[in-house]
Structure 1
Amino acid sequence: MRNLMFSALLAATALLSPAAQAEGIEAGKQYVELSTPVPVAKPGKIEVVELFWYGCPHCYQFESTLNPWADKLPEDVNFVRVPAMFGRVWDIHGQMFITLEAMKVEHKVHSAVFDAIHKEGKKLATPEEMADFVATQGVDKAAFLKTYNSFGVKGQVEKAKKLAMAYQITGVPVLIVNGKYRFDIGSSGGPEKALEVADHLIAKERAAQ
């Protein structure tokens, strides 16, 4: 009887293990497999893309879960943020993010932009308003405006719009793994579950290499 109880306990423990939980992750449930894969930015690395909008409260809330996870990704994984642009202020905020990336200051300003919009009630809806704000974060105002209106940034804006179309997204935040798999917080079952799906798909792609 003791052996039977011990065996039952082992079985129950196995059901709670990460490997067992991952077995329940499948296409059509937690994620969608894209019919046409999208090329990745760095061939040879497993890519994880987050599509977001600075004005999205769910994207803002996801930051506290996503950032620690992204910081610990192994060397063979490339994490990329892509702004979703569905017109009007979405496009303006998206161009701001791309500008900050082009200036190589996104890493130190990104969280401050989110806080400004969601904690301080700032709109950041014009280039001048954005330039004034990033100046408070140590970014040169004139350089920001020049970069914002540059040909290079406008080209990256068009590229980001095409990527969103290729991923077939309709909202944010959305994660894409290796240009093949799309999922969001809702389909995954929450922020933490979304990252479990991401880990599962990263492992799936790594095994296939």
Structure 2
Amino acid sequence: MRNLLLSAVLAATSLFGMAALAADYQAGKQYVELSSPVPVSQPGKIEVVELFWYGCPHCYQFEPTLNAWVDTLPDDVNFVRVPAMFGGVWNTHGQLFLTLEAMKVDQQVHEAVFAAIHRDGKKLATPEAMAELLAEQGVDSEAFLKSYKSFAVKGQMEKAKKLAMAYQITGVPVLVVNGKYRLDLGSAGGPQQAVAVADFLIAKERAAQ
């Protein structure tokens, strides 16, 4: 009986906490509700998309918080990274990420690419420079260069550009929850607050299902 009472108290406390969050997080303040929802990649799951750029220092600083949060996401949430491409080196780095994703080594070397740019001062502005770094991470250089120039990767680049336009982003890092809500570190109040707002929006979408 005592355990049942304790469970009831904890549940009530959790609900109270959610109500408090609901009062604090509002559309137009901590997040934006998109005028036209964007279809998700896995229907039936709540999708969280991060739009980023390897050259963005804020994205690099957000990585530890974001990765720790992603590790806690339940099975009904699908997390997706999408490179933002505004031309020039943004596109080059976006093509790099999509190539790694196509080769299924993105998780293996994602952090190494960020570190090479922001810690080691490498620009990674050419496929050859990328291939040299990736070889150090155990990725076959020839296979990378072949995939980098493939029609499949170029097709994914066009898809990523269209998604960024649909999400109406103007900078990074940005999180989009279930194709409906967009938030950034500035609007949320920082990295920890951003994932807290994302948690709130995930709960909101789950309750609506």
| Same fold by TM-score greater than 0.5 | yes
| CA apart distance, 1:134 | 0.5
Where does residue 59 of structure 2 map in the other structure?
Answer: 59
Listed one character per residue, the Cα deviations across residues 108-164 of structure 1 (whole Å, up to 9, x for unaligned) are: 100000000000000000011101110110000000000000010000000000000
Q: Tell me what 2:95 maps to.
A: 95
C-alpha deviation, 1:71, in angstroms: 1.0
- Counterpart CA distance in 2 for 1:175 and 1:133 is 28
Between 1:142-151 and 1:17-26, the stretch displaced more is: 17-26
Deviation per residue, 1:79-134 (Å, 9 max, x gap): 00000000000000000000000000000100000000000000000011101110
Q: Percent identity?
A: 75
Matches within 5 A, 1:19-38: 19-38=19-38
What does 1:31-50 align with in structure 2 at a 5 Å threshold? Answer: 31-50=31-50
Say whether 1:208 aligns with 2:196: no
* Shift, 1:72, TM fit: 1.1
**1:108 pairs with 2:125:** no
- Per the TM alignment, residue 23 of structure 1 is displaced from its structure 2 partner at its CA by 2.2
* TM-score, normalised relative to structure 1: 0.91
Partner of 1:159: 159
Instruction: Quote the offset at 1:20 in angstroms.
Output: 1.4
Partner residue in 2 for 1:3? none
Which segments of 5 or more consecutive residues in structure 1 lack a partner in the other structure? 1-12
> What SS does the aligned partner of 1:87 have?
coil
Q: Which residue number in structure 2 is paired with residue 82 of structure 1?
A: 82
1:18 positional shift:
5.4
TM-score if structure 2 supplies the norm length? 0.91
Name segments (4+ residues, structure 1) moved above 2 Å. Answer: 16-19
Matches within 5 A, 1:171-182: 171-182=171-182
Separation in 2, partners of 1:17, 1:87: 43
Q: Using the alignment, how far apart are the partners of 1:157 and 1:131 within structure 2?
A: 19
Q: Which amino acid aligns with 2:169?
A: I
Matches within 5 A, 1:185-204: 185-204=185-204
Instruction: Find the counterpart in structure 2 of residue 117 from structure 1.
Output: 117
Q: How far apart, in 2, do the equivalents of 1:78 and 1:163 lie? A: 16
* Structure number, greater radius of gyration: 1
Return the alpha-carbon distance in structure 1 between the equivalents of residues 17 and 154 of structure 2. 47
In the alignment, the residues of structure 2 paired with residue 189 and residue 123 of structure 1 have an alpha-carbon distance, to the nearest angstrom, of 29
SS at match of 1:23: helix
1:17 deviates by: 4.1
Shift of 1:22: 3.6
Alpha-carbon distance in 2 for matches of 1:160, 1:54: 15
Residue 19 of structure 1 deviates from its aligned partner by 4.1
* SS at 1:192 equivalent: helix
- How many residue pairs match? The answer is 196
